[in-house]
Structure 1
Amino acid sequence: MASELLALKKASGLSFAQLSQKTHYAKSSWERWVNGKQFPPRHAVESLAGLCGTPSAQLLDLWDRAQAEREAGAEEAQGAEQASDEGGAPDAGAEPDAGAEPETGDAPPRGRRPRFLWIAAVLGVVLVAGGSLAAYLTLGAAGDASSPRPSASVKVAGPQTGCKGTACEGRDPKKMNCGSDAVTVRTGSIPKDLVIELRYSRACQAAWGRISFAEIGATVVVNNSDGAAQADVVHYDRDVYSPLIAAPDDGSVWVCAALPKDKARSCTGRFIPSQED
């Protein structure tokens, strides 16, 4: 992603200061994104493509794939951490296997003869079972070759989520696993840095709002055409996401954001799943 941004910047002939003047983003933000120090927001990538007169579809597709990989990596890391927390240490007080005694002289070590007998018994069961299976298959093939056999069907299951539609109202998208298939479907911004994103999960049939590069006290509100709304406020750091809201196929959802003590709000466009999903 960074190499593509660097190539576009060089092609444009613009400095970081000039990029800042022509977009809603600060000079320092452009320097971090182009040099690969920080992953850029989708809207910034689209803005740079527009400045260079380059079709944005391919670049935005690259951004979507990179974002999906980042989210998948975060989920794998979280799963590994949980597995590490749940795993137990081996029992240091366990007694050694009797079959592991060292051999002395010419006599066979004690404890091994039962193990050999057990292995022999298992092999005998396997051979008998194999012979029975071969006989069954032979008789079945000779009995009725024309009889239809059931065909196996394979269904690809979607991601397992904790809620769907209106049942998701007010719930955390991460805890409900709605981020497993989520995509950013609409974006907006508030000069200079604040980025607004509308996130949508088809598996959950729900959406939420997210703001980045904000400041403490900034708000994000996600709305739908049924009149429902969910909001959250940046309490620390520079980003926050709202709870979930239902995203009906034929309804619309959108996100608005506002800076502290600022009554004016900036909103994304509306997203209708049945028209674009």
Structure 2
Amino acid sequence: MSAWKALSGELDPDVRTFVERLRLVIDRSGLGVVAVVERTGHDRADWDAFLHARRPVPRSAVVALSDITGADLGPLTAAWEHADRAWKRLLRERAVAEAGPTPDPGPPPGPARDGVRDGRRDPEGVPDPRPGPQDAPPADRTLRIRKVVPPAPAHGPTMAPAPDPAPAPAPDPDPAPDPAPAPAPGSVPRKPRRATPLLYAAGIAGAALVVTAAVLLADLGGPGGSAAPTAAPTPSATTVAPEPAPSLPDGVRCTGADCGGQDPERMGCGGPLATTVASTRIGPAFVEVRYSGVCAAAWARITGAAAGDEVSVQHGTAVQVANVPEGGDTDAYTAMIPVASGAAARACAMLAGGEDGCTGE
């Protein structure tokens, strides 16, 4: 490493570790930078920027360097992923610093509440302490009992008939009474027994009481009344406690079916949480099946490709597809599909030149 120019002390530790690993791979291969430039297809200026940490290294350069030197691609790829995230984080921080802070417009003015508007007392907003119509006590709903006037007799308008001054004598129940004995001389003759007027009055009063009781029972909701039935109490709803969500590592935002169609890097499923479970080379492109056990999902990745090349991952009827965009990028990866294990998924690629193939073939 003594032949290399010393790296800046302000570098991110992940970037420094990755660049030093690249230098070590080149030193151990014995090829030199010129041979690396000729065999990887990247310019000398690009490799100078890569090996001195002045520019992010594309994944295609890492794959090409692994192919020509025989270095293990797994550890080299893992170090590249950490460095790539560090570069992206640095670029975002630079963009925010160049944009400058956004001025705070302050809280918007709100409506007056309880006589206070925008922090100042509004004398016209003081609530009136006098009770309004809404403060009036509820109406008295005391049950009112209706008086019932007993029916008047047919021979007079008064509530109770006056006693008959000359009632007819009660008939004698005996059809053939014995003749009354003659009164003794000097005795006063006995008058015949007549029905007393109090009996008539008592009968009429009893009938009036019966009618009054019947009316009261109807008003109070008794038999035959119209009182509203009492509503049955509403049964209380049973609250079902939700099942606790599974705990995920810091930065991981989905697992299983929730990861379907999601970006693995954005959901925190890539990096050290992902491994390459299957791979193949199709022409100049390298195709991999990437799997994360924590997220229980897989995706496909292609490197060393050209614009217009297509890569896909599939499991059963679930398929996700991605294309290599224009603009110099030579790698791409698909969204995730949920799988129980990485062996259940396979990755396929179709190159713009007509070549195609899949892992596991």
How far apart in 2 are the matches of 1:35 and 1:86? Answer: 32
Aligned match of 2:237: none
Change (3 A) 1:265 1:76: same
The alpha carbon displacement at 1:219 in A equals 0.1
Q: Deviations over 1:143-200 (max 9, x none)?
A: xxxxxxxxxxxxx8513544322343233334544347543415544444x3434333
Aligned match of 1:163: 254
Residue of structure 2 aligned with 1:206, choices 292, 297, 300:
297
Aligned match of 1:28: 43
2:88 maps to 1:71: no
2:316 maps to 1:232: no
How far apart in 1 are the matches of 2:333 and 2:261? Answer: 12
Q: Deviations over 1:18-58 (max 9, x none)?
A: 5578x6x42538846556554253533533442xxx6x3xx
Change (3 A) 1:63 1:174: closer
How far apart in 2 are the matches of 1:7 and 1:183? Answer: 25
- Which secondary structure state, in structure 2, belongs to the residue aligned with residue 178 of structure 1? coil
- Which secondary structure state, in structure 2, belongs to the residue aligned with residue 5 of structure 1? helix
Residue of structure 2 aligned with 1:61, choices 75, 97, 116:
75
Q: Percent identity?
A: 25
Q: Aligned ranges for residues 14-25 of structure 1 at < 5 Å?
A: 14=31, 19=36, 25=40
Q: Is the 8 A contact 1:190 1:266 kept in 2?
A: yes
Amino acid at match of 2:323: V
Q: Deviations over 1:198-221 (max 9, x none)?
A: 333333211212334432211011
Question: By percentage of residues, which structure has more helix?
Answer: 1
2:264 maps to 1:246: no
Aligned match of 1:9: 26
The alpha carbon displacement at 1:247 in A equals 2.5
- Which secondary structure state, in structure 1, belongs to the residue aligned with residue 43 of structure 2? helix
Change (3 A) 1:68 1:256: same
- Which secondary structure state, in structure 1, belongs to the residue aligned with residue 349 of structure 2? strand
Aligned match of 1:152: none
Give the unaligned 5+ runs of structure 1: 93-155, 271-277
- Which secondary structure state, in structure 2, belongs to the residue aligned with residue 214 of structure 1? coil
Structure 1 or 2, whichever has the larger Rg, is 2
Q: Aligned ranges for residues 115-130 of structure 1 at < 5 Å?
A: none
Q: How many residues align?
A: 198
Q: Is the 8 A contact 1:161 1:177 kept in 2?
A: yes
How far apart in 2 are the matches of 1:181 and 1:60? Answer: 11
Residue of structure 1 aligned with 2:57, choices 24, 39, 64:
39
The alpha carbon displacement at 1:261 in A equals 4.6
Aligned match of 2:306: 215
How far apart in 1 are the matches of 2:310 and 2:333? Answer: 9
Q: Deviations over 1:74-105 (max 9, x none)?
A: 368769989x999763759xxxxxxxxxxxxx
Q: Is the 8 A contact 1:8 1:48 kept in 2?
A: no
2:352 maps to 1:260: yes
The alpha carbon displacement at 1:258 in A equals 2.2
How far apart in 2 are the matches of 1:19 and 1:195? Answer: 18
Q: Is the 8 A contact 2:29 2:69 kept in 1?
A: no
My pick for the range that moved more, 7-16 or 252-261, is 7-16
TM-score where L is the length of structure 2: 0.42
Amino acid at match of 2:294: A
Q: Is the 8 A contact 1:188 1:195 kept in 2?
A: yes
Aligned match of 1:146: none
Q: Is the 8 A contact 1:161 1:176 kept in 2?
A: yes
Higher relative contact order (CA 8 A, sep 6+): 1
How far apart in 2 are the matches of 1:85 and 1:202? Answer: 41
Q: Is the 8 A contact 1:216 1:235 kept in 2?
A: yes
How far apart in 1 are the matches of 2:342 and 2:288? Answer: 20
Q: Is the 8 A contact 1:184 1:200 kept in 2?
A: yes
How far apart in 2 are the matches of 1:176 and 1:211? Answer: 19
Amino acid at match of 1:5: L
Q: Is the 8 A contact 2:78 2:271 kept in 1?
A: no
Q: Is the 8 A contact 2:290 2:342 kept in 1?
A: no
How far apart in 1 are the matches of 2:37 and 2:346? Answer: 27
